[in-house]
Amino acid sequence: MKTTLIVIVVIIAIPLIVALLTKKEYGVIREVLINRPKPEVFNYIKYLKNQDNFSKWATMDPNMKKEYRGEDGTVGFVSAWDSEQKNVGKGEQEIKKILEGERIEYELRFIKPFQSTSLAYMTTETISENQTRVKWGFNGKMNYPMNIMLLFMDMEKMIGNDFATGLSNLKTIVEK
Q: Under a CB-based contact definition with an 8 Å cutoff, are residues 3 and 97 in contact? A: no
**pTM, two decimal places:** 0.82
**In the predicted model, what is the mean pLDDT of the chain?**
90
Count CB neighbours of 44 within 10 A: 18
What pLDDT shows up at residue 115? 83
Give me the CATH topology for the region 24-175. Alpha-D-Glucose-1,6-Bisphosphate; Chain A, domain 4 (3.30.530)
What pLDDT shows up at residue 62? 86
Nearest CA to 33 among 101, 104, 128?
Answer: 128
Map out the domains of the chain as residue ranges. Answer: 24-175
User: Percent of the chain beyond pLDDT 90?
Assistant: 61
Which residues, 6 or more positions from 50, have their beta carbon under 8 angstroms from its beta carbon? 44
Q: Under a CB-based contact definition with an 8 Å cutoff, are residues 131 and 34 in contact? A: yes
